[in-house]
Each structure stands twice: as C-alpha cells, then as structure tokens.
Homo-oligomer: A and B are copies of this chain.
Amino acid sequence: MDIHDLTRELKVKNDSKIVMLVADGLGGLPTQAGGKTELETAWTPNLDALAARGVLGSAIPIAPGISPGSGPGHLALFGYDPLQYVIGRGALEATGIGFELQDGDVAIRCNFCTIDEAGKITDRRAGRIASEESGPLAIRLRQVKIPGIEVFVEPVKEHRFVVVFRGPGLGDRVKDTDPQATGVPPLDPVADDAASQKTAEVAKAFLAQAREILASHPKANFHTMRGFAGKPKLPSYEEVYGLRAAAIAVYPMYKGLARLVGMDIVGQAQTLSEQMDLLEQNWNDYDFFFLHFKYTDSRGEDGDFDAKVEKIEELDASVPRITALKPTVLIVTGDHSTPAYLKGHSWHPVPTLLVSDCCRPDAEAQFGECNCVRGGLGQFEAKYLMTLALANAGRLGKYGA
C-alpha cells in the first residue's frame, strides 16, 4: 500500500501548524551496562514537559536491524517509503552539496584517482588528496565542453566531486567506471539501456577531455565515475498532504532532501537561534515546518557521548521558542540513531514524541529511549509519522463511510 494514495484522498485543509523538529542521529546507547543513553543523560526539562503532555514512541526508519543513511532516514520521516523511493548515489551527492537538480539531469559521483603510464589505476582515491588541492582541480574540469550538453563540475571533499550533465535525452542507467580494484584500467561508461546510450557517450567524451586536463597532475591524473542518477521523482508535500512546507536547515544535504519533496528552503540560518528566528518570521506563510538540527549526529559520529549530551541540552533550551508559537502539532524525532558508542548511524529505533491537543497521552513523562519503548505510539514505522501528524492537525478525513 502506498500511504500517499490514502493521504491524497483524505487530506483536508485548515489553519493548523505542524512543526517537525529533527535532531539528526538522536537515538543513542549507554556506554556501559546499566547506563543511560545520551538522551536519557541529558537534562531536558522542556522536552520532558512535552513528553508528559504528549505521546511517545520508537520509530523504525527502514526495517528492524537496518541502519539508514541520511537520505532514506529523512524520506521516511517525510512519509515517503524509503524502500520504494530510492535516491541514486549521484543525485544524493549533488543534493548534499546544494546542487539543484532539474528533471532530466544526470548526476555522477566522481573520484580523483591516479593511473600509471599503462593507464592502470594505482590509487582509486588519489591518496585522499586534500580538499584544498582537489577543489581547484575539480573546477579546472569545467573546461570540458560537450556540444549540446550543459556540464557542471562541483567540488565535494578530498577525492570526491560531482559532475552533472544537462541536456535532452539523457537516461541515467550507466555502469560505474570504477573497477573497484587497482592494477587495472578504469572501465568505459556502458549504458544499461537504450535511453542511456547518449549519456554513456557524453561521459566517455568527458573522461577523454578530463584525462588531458589532468594528465600532468602529480597527485590526481584521472578520475572515475560512479552512481549515475537522475533527479528522483518524488510527489510534493503540496500534492500528497496539501501542505505548504518550509525547511529550515543549516546543511545543504537536508535542504536538498527537503527540496526533493517540494518544501521551500527558508533563509540561510547558521545557528539554531537563527533557525528559530526564521521559524518565527515565516510562521504565517506555511503549514508545515521541518527544522533540522545536525549536531546530535555529528557528535555521535565523533564518538563523543558528553558532547552529544550537550547538543541535546542546547536543543532542549530552544524548545520554548517553538512552543511559544503554539503549533497545533509538534513532533520531536530523529532520522536514525547515532550512538556515540558506535560512532555511526545505527538501526536502533528513534525516540519520538508527538504533542497536540488531541494526542492520547501515555503514562510517560520523560523523553528517553526507555520511556519511548513504553509510549503510546509503540514501535512504529517512521513513514507513518506524517499521517499521525496530519491526523493530529485535523488534516485527514475519515477513510470509508
């Protein structure tokens, strides 16, 4: 079942306001037996007050045991089945640096590499060349000209950069040129279907010119191409939910993901306080606000338990600025767990709270993983958070008579 078949049919417009506050990588783990998680350790009087009024639950982003990347994690929160809607690697990389893909574009993740005189790869990542060197080198590749095709080259980080082809008739089913091994030459780009034949030709032409441009560089004399992908086709928030949605995020990746589902990207906040300013300033113009807080994930990835606790407390301190606006529905959740103990994304369910005047409160009065296990939302698939949000906002009619 596609949940959007239901929401399209049942959606109702009204003046309600929904705020979804996403603390990236919110869920955690204790670091020792009998210990508490980051969220349970943090002093969070404001979130606890919401927990007491609201309903808690544990969100499963993809499926039990599956650790999500940022793309599928956010698609699930936005209500898009992350196993049905797949964002290709190239498209995600372009999205992550804020490149606005258009329909028909083909985005490609590229890696600088080194090849020997026989053309065989000696280092697939060009020694993880520093961004200071690789950035200008990527920009030098903008010299590549291909008749009838608009070509974009954007630096990413270290050995990584993005190439986007724009022009008519470009399919995105082209095989990677990275042979995943050294001592062999890079592969030619080969189309997997007729519609991608032209893309493979364009890629081949790009590589030929790039080879000349890079030939004399001592650290990165060639590059590979991977993850050819067009702009994912996602129905918009307006279409599936009837929501005018605004995204207030600091990092390009999350702005990009929001843009893919038709949210407006609001402002250029650099801090949580600036994000709250934008929320206040735009309050009357939108029905739905996606607020993204990155640093819970970052500190989790660092493996820094105490710093993640601090970031959660910083987030908690900003909650009164949201509640002061009296949103009809306020959700606090994460796109996945990032326990400092694991230094990375994990599969553990994500602590989630939802507050509205018509939520059914449970017996829990603190926002923490153990409380969420006992919460009224139970353990649920994250993709249903949006229907819960709409329902609590009075924005979904009855199914069947």
Main secondary structure on A side of the interface with B: loop
Given contacts A363-B370, A373-B374, contact A389 B83 (CB under 8 A): no
In the complex, the count of this chain's copies comes to 2
A58 at the A/B interface (Cβ < 8 Å)?
Answer: yes
Assess the B65–A389 pair: CB atoms within 8 A.
yes
What 1/0 mask marks residues of chain A from 1 to 25 whose CB sits below 8 Å from any chain B CB? Answer: 1010010001000000000000000
Assess the A29–B341 pair: CB atoms within 8 A.
no
Assess the A3–B63 pair: CB atoms within 8 A.
yes
Whole-angstrom distance between the Cβ of A132 and the nearest chain B Cβ: 24
What 1/0 mask marks residues of chain A from 50 to 91 whose CB sits below 8 Å from any chain B CB? Answer: 000100001000111111111111000000001100110100
Given contacts A399-B72, A400-B69, A400-B87, contact A6 B373 (CB under 8 A): no
The residues in A between 375 and 401 inclusive whose CB is less than 8 angstroms from any CB of B are: 375-381, 384, 386-392, 396-401
Given contacts A63-B384, A378-B58, contact A398 B68 (CB under 8 A): yes
Given contacts A346-B358, A370-B362, contact A387 B33 (CB under 8 A): no
Bound complex: CA of A289 vs CA of B35, how far in Å?
A: 30
Assess the B69–A401 pair: CB atoms within 8 A.
yes
Q: Which residue of B lies closest to A61 (CB)?
A: B399
Bound complex: CA of A222 vs CA of B324, how far in Å?
A: 53
Whole-angstrom distance between the Cβ of A23 and the nearest chain B Cβ: 17
Most chain B CB within 10 A, of A33, A69, A347, is at A347
Bound complex: CA of A358 vs CA of B360, how far in Å?
A: 31
Question: Of B348, B362, B369, B391, which one neighbours A373 at CB under 8 angstroms?
Answer: B362
**A to B CB contacts below 8 Å, 16 in the list:** A33-B53, A58-B376, A65-B391, A66-B387, A67-B398, A68-B398, A69-B398, A73-B400, A82-B399, A86-B400, A341-B358, A345-B398, A346-B391, A349-B378, A363-B370, A378-B379
4 further A-B pairs in the complex, CB-CB below 8 A; given A30-B361, A68-B399: A6-B83, A29-B358, A63-B384, A344-B398
